[in-house]
Amino acid sequence: MGREKADHAPMETSLKNRSPSCWRFVGLVTICTLLLAPVSVGADDRRGVGPSVIGDVVPRQSGDVAAAIAAPVEAVLVVAGDTVRAGDPLATLNIDDRRADLETARAQIAVAEAQINVRQAALEVERASLQRLADLRGSAAFNASRFEDSQAETARLAAEVTVARAQFEESRARAARLLVDIERSKVRAPYDAVVMSREIDAGDFVTPGRRMFSLVNTSNLEVEADVPTSLLRFLKKGNRIEAKTRDGIALTVTVRALIPVENPLTETRTVRFAVPASHPVAVGQAIELHVPQDTGG
């Protein structure tokens, strides 16, 4: 017993003689150990949950509706925020001049058709006369001069018939073109969409190519994300991926397409994820996507 006390005495003396700085160091080591312990446990608990990437909600169908003809704007039927269906009217253009031109073209068609009939009838008469003169060839009644004149007249009338038919086709083409312009005066939505902006007002004069409306189809949205190339092996077309919005709303998206173009600067490739229509997301919204650690769906 005496020796045991003797052995412990130096140790107790040593501990009592340690400086305050030494005790602070020991305390820091202990705290760091306690802080690091939960991290190790958390990593084990989250085994199977892969890294996350941030993507943005984008529409699969969007764009501008531009003017197809030059005309004044007669009426604007929608404003920004309106929901439209494919074929719904957005605006109408004033094309009174085209309607007047169409009536003129139709009159020209009628005139050209009448000219064709008149010249065709004259041509038939002259061809019959030419045939009679030809039948007299070899007889004393044959008149070579009249025969040649009839040949020339037949050729002239045939040329006039050709010109009249060309004028008829030209008038028909002009009328068809005017009908296209008249139809284009009714500006319609090309697909179901929400009107994002309106660039025209009644009284404006638009020219071909001028933007009139911007549309976005909000019923068919996707998430577009630049995914590191090293993670692409975990993504297959059709995989269901867990995701969430910035405010914590969970949703499930599906891998639709892996774009086979790599950005060499960031070593990423663009991946498109389909979003179910039932999820309330908005264009431009940030979405956090959790990439799985295996290739299963």
Which tokens in the block code for residue 240? 């269901």
CA 139 to chain centre: 80
Lookup result for tokens 């007047």: 100
Amino acid at 119: R
Q: Average pLDDT over the chain, rounded to whole?
A: 83
DSSP result, 44-111: HHTTT---EEEEEEEESSEEEEE-SS-EEEEEE---TT-EE-TT-EEEEE--HHHHHHHHHHHHHHHH
User: Nearest 10 degrees: CA dihedral of 45, 47, 48, 53?
Assistant: 90
**248-291 pLDDT tens trace:** 889 999 999 999 999 999 999 999 999 987 777 888 999 999 98
Residue 251: in which H helix or E strand, if any? Answer: strand 250-263
Give the integer Cα–Cα distance in Å for 14 and 95: 105
Nearest CA among 217, 228, 216, 219 for reference residue 264: 228
If you average pLDDT over residues 170-198, what whole number do you get? 94
Q: Does residue 74 carry a pLDDT above 90? A: yes
Instruction: Say if CB 273 and CB 254 are below 8 A apart.
Output: yes
Q: Does residue 11 carry a pLDDT above 90? A: no
> Any idea which of 7-16, 163-172, 189-198 has the lowest mean pLDDT?
7-16
Q: Which residue has the higher pLDDT, 126 or 45?
A: 126
If you average pLDDT over residues 138-167, what whole number do you get? 89
Give the integer Cα–Cα distance in Å for 243 and 291: 9
Q: Does residue 6 carry a pLDDT above 60? A: no
Q: What is the pLDDT of residue 281?
A: 86
Is 0.75 surpassed by the pTM of this model?
Answer: no
Instruction: Say if CB 293 and CB 49 are below 8 A apart.
Output: yes
Instruction: Say if CB 116 and CB 164 are below 8 A apart.
Output: yes
